[in-house]
Amino acid sequence: MTDTFFDKIEKYSKSLGFQDIKVTNFSDFNIYSKHLREFIKNKFYGEMNWIKEKSLIRENPTNIWEEAKSALVFGLNYGPDYSPFSELKNKKTGYISIYARRKDYHKVIKSKLKNIGRFICRNSDIKVKVFVDTAPIMEKPLAELSNMGWIGKHTNLVSKKYGSWLFLGIILTNYNFNQSKKHKINNCGTCNACNEACPTNAFTSPYKLDARKCISYLTIEHKTHIKRKYRSLIGNRIFGCDDCLAVCPWNKFAKTHSDIKLDINNNLVLQPLKSLVSLDEESFRKKFSGTPLKRLGYNRFLRNILIAIGNSGDKSLVDCAINKLEHNSSLVRAMAVWALFQLSADRFKEEKKLRYSKERDLDVREEWHEGNIK
C-alpha cells in the first residue's frame, strides 16, 4: 500500500462534497488530553456528564480502537454567505444556530463517511471506523494535528480556506498514512474578537471555555431552569449561538458547500416567536423532524421560546406567555411567569393574584416571588 491511495481517497471524498481531507497520527495527542483533564477538573462541562464519564477513552483515539494508527479528517464548510448578526436584531423572531437550520449533519456526514469507508475497504485491506461527533473522540484536536486548521481562541477549529464554519468527520484506520504537510498552526495572532463577542463572557481566557455560561450549552444541553442572570443575555436565540464563530475574520475567505442535503431550510430562519410558541407537541415534532432541534424536546423548546418572548419587548406577545401559565411542565410555567413580568408588570400582578396560591412547584413559585421584588 502506498500513499498514492490517499490521493484516490481524497478525490472520492471531494466527489461526495467534502472540501478538505487531511491525515494525522496520534503521537502529539497528549497535550489535548491535558486540556481535557483541566476542563473536567474545573467542571466546565456542566450537565454534560458524558464528557467526564468517557474522559479516559477521549484521551487518545487508540483507547476507542486499539488497532488505530492514523485518522483521516474530513471538513465541510456550512457557513452562510452573509453575517447572521442582523437576525439578532429582529426580536420578534427566534434565532436558530446556523448549523441546525438543515438536516441533522450527523446523519448526512456519517452517510458520506460510510461511503468513503466502503471505498477504502473495497480497494484495500485497510480496516476503518467512522465517527461524527457522537463517540468519545476529540475531532477538533485531530483536525488541528492533521493541519486542516487550528483551534482558535473560541475553542473551535479555524481554517484559512473555510473560516470557523466547519463540520468535521473522522475515519480511524489501522494503516499508518503519512502525516499531512505541516504549516504554521495558529494564526489568531492578537485578534480576540471571538472572546469579546460572547454575550455571557463564557471564555475564562483565550482557548478556555466554561460551557456552563455558553448560550449554545444553555439552550441545547442544559435540561433545567436557566439562571436569571443569563436570560436577558440570550436575547432571541432559541437554539444555540453563533456569535464567536460569526465574528471570526477568517470567515471572509470561506467557500460555501455545494451539497443540497445540507442546504438551509428557510422554514427555520427568522420564524415569528408567536407562531413558534403556538406549536403543540405534535406540530413541534413534525416541523423539526430530521433537524437537530428535535432532540431538544418540546418542553425545553418552549422554555427557550418564552425566554426570547420575554426579551422581545413586544407586548402583543403577553397573551402568548399567559397561555403557558397552566402548562403541565413546571419548566415551561416558570419561564412563562418570567416572560410575562418582562413584558407587563401590571398583567403579571393580575395573573399572580389568580395563580400563585394554587401553584405547588417551588421553582415556579420562586419566579412569581422574584417578579414582585424587582
Would you kindly state where each structural domain of the chain is located, as residue ranges? 4-268, 270-374
Which range, of 41-50, 218-227, 254-263, averages the lowest pLDDT?
254-263
Supply the pLDDT for residue 28. Answer: 87
- Mean pLDDT for all residues in the chain: 93
> What is the spatial distance between Cα 84 and Cα 86, in angstroms, rounded to a whole number?
5
Which residue in the block uniquely carries the three cell numbers 492533521? 146
Say whether pLDDT at 146 is over 60. yes
Single pTM value for the model: 0.94
Supply the pLDDT for residue 373. Answer: 54
> What is the spatial distance between Cα 192 and Cα 152, in angstroms, rounded to a whole number?
10
In this prediction, residues 14-42 reach a mean pLDDT of 93
In this prediction, residues 44-60 reach a mean pLDDT of 93
196 to each of 88, 193, 247, how far by Cα in Å? 17, 5, 10
Banded pLDDT at 261 (limits 50, 70, 90): low
363 is catalytic: no
> What is the spatial distance between Cα 216 and Cα 234, in angstroms, rounded to a whole number?
10
Banded pLDDT at 262 (limits 50, 70, 90): confident
CATH T-level assignment (fold) for domain 270-374 = Leucine-rich Repeat Variant (1.25.10)
In this prediction, residues 255-270 reach a mean pLDDT of 75
Which SS3 state, helix, strand or coil, does residue 150 take?
strand
With a CB cutoff of 8 Å and minimum separation 6, the contacts of 220 are 239, 240, 296
φ, ψ dihedrals at 163, nearest 5°: 65, -145
Which residue in the block uniquely carries the three cell numbers 474522559? 55
pLDDT in tens, 304-354: 999 999 999 999 999 999 999 999 999 999 999 999 999 999 999 999 999
Supply the pLDDT for residue 56. Answer: 92
Supply the pLDDT for residue 166. Answer: 92
Say whether pLDDT at 3 is over 80. no
Percentage of the residues of the chain whose pLDDT score is greater than 90: 83
Name the DSSP letter for residue 123: T
pLDDT in tens, 351-360: 999 999 999 9
From 20, 104, 125, 133, active-site residue: 133
